[in-house]
Amino acid sequence: MSHWIVAPTLLPALTAAYLILFARNDIFHQRIVSIAATLMLVLLTFGLYQLAGDGESRAYLLGNWPAPFGIVQVLDRLSAMMLLLTACLAFIVVVYAIHGWDRRGRYFHALFQFQLLGINGAFLTGDFFNLFVFFEVMLIASYGLMLHGGGPRRLKAGFQYVTINLIGSTLFLFAVGIIYSVTGTLNMADLAVKAGQVAAGDIALLRTGALLLFMVFAIKAALVPLHWWLPTTYAAASAPVAALFAIMTKVGAYSVLRMYGLVFGTDAGPLALVAAPWVIPAAIVTLAIGAIGVLASRTLLDLVCFAVVASMGTLLIAVGLFDQVGVAAALYYLLHSTLAGAALFLLVDLIAVRRGRARDRLNAAPPFPRDSVYGGLFFLAAIAMVGLPPLSGFLGKLLILDATRETAHAGLIWTIVLGSSFIMLVGFARAGSVLFWKSAAQPPQEQEDEPKRRALPTMAAGALVAGMILLSVFAAPVSRAVTETAQQALDTRAYVEAVLGTIKTARATGL
């Protein structure tokens, strides 16, 4: 039993507590600690990724209570991959944030670490009440981060965001209650065993619980019709926070995969793949609405928000297949869309600041210094997001289209995926040409005192774009890795053995 498994939740928790207790008034102290801790988290999760690479699921018993009774954390390829992605994204975001955003409120870094605690915990936990708790940790921190910087618009959007998530939490508790009353367990592995053996009279009740839980994850993943909170919230949040939130929708997608691919997987008897009939139709509508939103947006930030909604639709179409090829494609696309969304949020902020009074509105404004750099980065991020060759968005969509080729709705899925890519292409092309080409024709700005700008924030956005380029260059090894991950993520038996088998091992070793 490797004790390192608990470290990705412990490290941010201790860092956040330290930041509040000892570095409250010293922003430089906060920055140093926060960057060092996030860098350590990157190294740590890389180590765990290596550890999980042998294909074995490892359960960590908290307090050494045997599995169905105590809380377990489970490290397998899927959770290790998500942890590594979160840590890398967080590091880039925190580097971006130290150039001004973190001064807008006193607790940015502490809240940021609490947010990482919640996200890492949600990826690691093997107990679905504990999943609720980590969701709450993640949400409480996200409320604080979303309001970071203040202002009437954030407060209004924040109220809506908090309300929808409180309703989501209530639904989560109802679902947990129903599932517990039928099966008498909260452990995911134990539930996977008991879901298959449930009495005939209780099937309807358990199905209700499972689908209520799916609604909660659909809110998190911004599936239509539960997606309306996302554009408002992300548009109102500050740029580094929106970039970090790019991983939060993926927590929803991850939970759908965990609960409905693994726990209510193909072995779950009458409840096998209970959410499958809902995922793909909802995802198709999500994709279509996201694409239309991209075309209809009047500001660059709204455009990016709807592009994120569309990318969640694409991702969940692949997740909804619940087979190895589909999930492998989904995981590749997940890596790509997290980087693409985060990169675009940071770029919008960089561009809007430089455009002065025109902000991020899609109209021509006087050109700003070195706009070719930002135009170039925006161009790269946009073609990745839309899914044009040669970047990772294209490869991801190709994998998804290939995975859906044999399914019943292949014609519909292909039409929507390709059609929405075209609509998004038009939307992004229009935005880019207005921002960079029509603006170039405008008379140059009167020489104001151009504030001295540093290169580091631009490099942070560039690093995310570089990540997508790497993802495209190393597509072959990455796609091999995600295929192995998908295989393990859908293997209920191995997961159950890893978690519940530890009772025997613990007794044998006399622990």
Partner 1 sequence: MSMEFLLASAIGTLTAAGVYMTLRARTFPVIIGLALLSYAVNLFLFAMGRLVVDKPPIIHPLATTYTDPLPQALVLTAIVISFGMTALIVVLALRSFLETGSDNVAMREMNEGANIESRGGEASR
Least Å distance between CB 422 and partner 1? 26
Least Å distance between CB 170 and partner 1? 5
Residue type (1 letter), 433: S
d(CA 466, CA 460): 10
The DSSP bridge pattern shows strands 58-61 and 72-75 to be antiparallel
d(CA 99, CA 244): 16
d(CA 156, CA 160): 7
Least Å distance between CB 442 and partner 1? 18
d(CA 269, CA 434): 55
Nearer Cβ to partner 1, position 148 or 258?
148
Nearer Cβ to partner 1, position 159 or 474?
159
- Residues linked to residue 125 through DSSP beta bridges, in sequence order: 73
Least Å distance between CB 132 and partner 1? 8
Residue 114 near residue 145 (C-beta atoms within 8 A): no
Q: How many CA atoms lie within 13 A of 58 on its CB side?
A: 20
Nearer Cβ to partner 1, position 153 or 493?
153
Sequential DSSP letters for 167-223: HHHHHHHHHHHHHHHHH---BHHHHHHHHTT--GGGHHHHHHHHHHHHHHHHHHTT-
Nearer Cβ to partner 1, position 28 or 509?
28
Least Å distance between CB 152 and partner 1? 4
Nearer Cβ to partner 1, position 188 or 350?
350
Residues that bind partner 1 (CB under 8 A): 96, 99-101, 103, 129, 133, 136, 140, 143, 147, 149, 151-153, 155-160, 162-163, 166-167, 169-170, 173-174, 176-178, 180-181, 186, 232, 235-236, 238-239, 298-299, 301-302, 348-350, 352-353, 357, 359-361, 451, 453-454, 457
Residue type (1 letter), 25: N
Nearer Cβ to partner 1, position 184 or 390?
184
Q: Tokens for 484? A: 């192995």
- Residues linked to residue 17 through DSSP beta bridges, in sequence order: none
Which of the 8 DSSP states describes residue 60?
E
Least Å distance between CB 305 and partner 1? 9
Helix (H, G, I), strand (E, B) or coil at 400: helix
Nearer Cβ to partner 1, position 305 or 465?
305
Nearer Cβ to partner 1, position 82 or 145?
145
Nearer Cβ to partner 1, position 82 or 137?
137
Nearer Cβ to partner 1, position 141 or 288?
141
Least Å distance between CB 444 and partner 1? 19
Least Å distance between CB 174 and partner 1? 6
Q: How many CA atoms lie within 13 A of 373 on its CB side?
A: 13
Please state the separation of Cα 507 from the chain's center in Å. Answer: 38
Phi/psi region, residue 446 (left: phi>0; alpha: psi -120 to 50; beta: rest), is beta
Least Å distance between CB 295 and partner 1? 17
Nearer Cβ to partner 1, position 2 or 181?
181
Nearer Cβ to partner 1, position 136 or 497?
136
Least Å distance between CB 119 and partner 1? 17
Q: At what angle do helices 108-124 and 7-22 cross, to 10 degrees?
A: 160
A 10 A CB-CB count for 354 gives: 18
Cα–Cα distances (Å) from 491 to 117, 121, 362, in that order, read: 27, 21, 48
Least Å distance between CB 182 and partner 1? 9
Residue 261 near residue 390 (C-beta atoms within 8 A): no
Least Å distance between CB 269 and partner 1? 22
Q: Tokens for 342? A: 């985060």
- Start-to-end CA distance of the chain, whole Å, equals 11
Residue type (1 letter), 259: M
- Residues linked to residue 73 through DSSP beta bridges, in sequence order: 60, 125
d(CA 450, CA 205): 64
